Amino acid sequence: MHWPATQLTQRLGLRYPIVQAPMAGATSPELVAAVSNAGGLGSLGGALMSPDALRQAIRDIRRRTDRPFNVNLFVWHDPAEPEPAALAAVRAALAPFRSRVGVPEDAVLPLPPSPRALLEQQLAVVCEETVPVFSFAFGIPPLAEVQRTGAVIAGTATTVAEAAALEEAGVDLVVAQGAEAGGHRGSFVAAFEESMIGGLALIPQIVDRVRLPVVAAGGIMDGRGIAAALALGAQGAQLGTAFLACAESTAHPLHKAALRRSADTDTCVTAVYSGRPARAVRTTFIADLEARLPAPLDFPLQYGWTGPVHYAAADKGDGDLMFLLAGQAAALARSLGAAELVEALAQEAQAVIGGPA
């Protein structure tokens, strides 16, 4: 299939301007390599991985593809030590859920003592393994070392001011994350409530503000969305929820099923799971915590407390006590193989855009 080149396809040598979004915990090397081999850009969500696991995953991807791929990290900050009263409130709010899925009252996930130090170690792996593309969210990490490796660098912006800050910091691409997007909000300049700009409004404003290629993200599930993103001036489209439903994604089967079942009004943005606002399917777990918890702990400490409930619920098949990240257009998800999805997306987008087949 002939596809018009964009700055993204040219810069990275892609067949299609289609990026599979990094999704920490769900992007297996199989998924990443399948997308890259199919002519898109596969992305590893490496934020939750230890440096060793990150290195192994990068090497696993390289065994499966010789095409470019992306490795993504969170710009972690060290959380404040929680006040005893805040901890007690979290414990009390979680107690009924813990007993429902059989999690001891004091069980917490083992989190890195300093997330900031983890980022430094992860960045060292990214440099040592000379990944082709490096992307990040939640801020701007030190970039000089990564730049020296020759990696193409992409930062996440939810507002025009964030896109400008990323350009100033020397990134090569800006991922414009609209309010529709599934997963954590990338916001790092203003409060997240002020940074919930829909993609239709956000993308052209960022395109006009920066000289860099822009990749649109949020609510894009099929070729119509990709064509729309390109029409708004983006040079590519990044899809998360659409790839979450793929066979190669490691999302829990209940998570995949929930995507296809959820209506446009079924997601919400909440900080009760991790301490950082994220868009997810509204479950009993979220609704109840929002009602009963005065304030979550700092990111990622809150996840240390809610995580055991989520994982025990996943083991028991209790989807209502799980945390199911998803974008606003999740209902359009299809259960295809990743390569099949890339090909379908490219054909659909081309049918909308027109031009020679």
Ligand X SMILES: Cc1cc2nc3c(=O)[nH]c(=O)nc-3n(C[C@H](O)[C@H](O)[C@H](O)COP(=O)(O)O)c2cc1C
Q: Closest approach of Cβ 241 to ligand X, in Å?
A: 3
- Measured distance CA(332)–CA(219) in Å, rounded: 9
Where residue 186 falls (left for φ over 0; alpha for ψ -120 to 50; beta otherwise) is: alpha
Which residue from 188, 316, 248, 190 is spatially nearest to 32, judged by alpha carbons? 248
Smallest gap from residue 47 Cβ to ligand X (A)? 5
Which residue's Cβ has the minimum distance to ligand X? Answer: 240
Residue type, 267: T
State the nearest-atom distance from the C-beta of 294 to ligand X, in Å: 27
3-class DSSP assignment, residue 245: coil
Count Cα atoms within 13 angstroms, Cβ side, for 186. 34
**Do residues 154 and 134 touch, judged by C-beta distance below 8 A?**
yes
Q: Is residue 241 helix, strand or coil? A: helix
How are beta strands 324-325 and 278-281 bridged, if at all? antiparallel
C-beta of 47 vs 119, nearer to ligand X: 47
Nearer of residues 243 and 305 to ligand X, judged by Cβ: 243
Give the CA distances from residue 203 to residues 89, 102, 111, 206, 248, in Å, rounded to whole numbers and listed in that order. 40, 45, 35, 5, 29
Helix, strand, coil: what percent of the chain each, to 5? 45, 15, 40
What minimum distance in Å lies between the beta carbon of 92 and ligand X?
28
> Closest distance between ligand X and the C-beta of residue 297, in Å?
20
Whichever of 237 and 297 has its CB closer to ligand X, that residue is 237
Q: What residue ranges bind ligand X (CB under 6 A)? A: 21-24, 26, 45, 47, 72, 137, 156, 177, 180-183, 217-220, 238-242, 244, 325-327, 329
Instruction: Using the minimum distance from each CB to ligand X, give the nearer residue, 23 or 321.
Output: 23
Closest distance of CB 225 from ligand X, Å: 9
Q: 84 vs 88, 91, 111, CA distance in Å?
A: 6, 10, 19
> Closest approach of Cβ 305 to ligand X, in Å?
20
**Helix (H/G/I), strand (E/B), else coil: 98:** helix
Closer Cβ to ligand X, 241 or 350, answer by number = 241
- The CB-of-127 to ligand X minimum distance in angstroms stands at 19
Backbone phi, psi, residue 180, to 5°: -70, -20
Pairing of strands 42-45, 69-74: parallel
Closer Cβ to ligand X, 93 or 156, answer by number? 156
98 vs 252 by CB, closer to ligand X: 252
Q: How many CB atoms are closer than 10 A to CB 108?
A: 15
Give whichever of 235 and 238 is closer to ligand X, judged by the CB atom: 238
| Closest C-alpha among 142, 341, 146 to residue 241 | 341
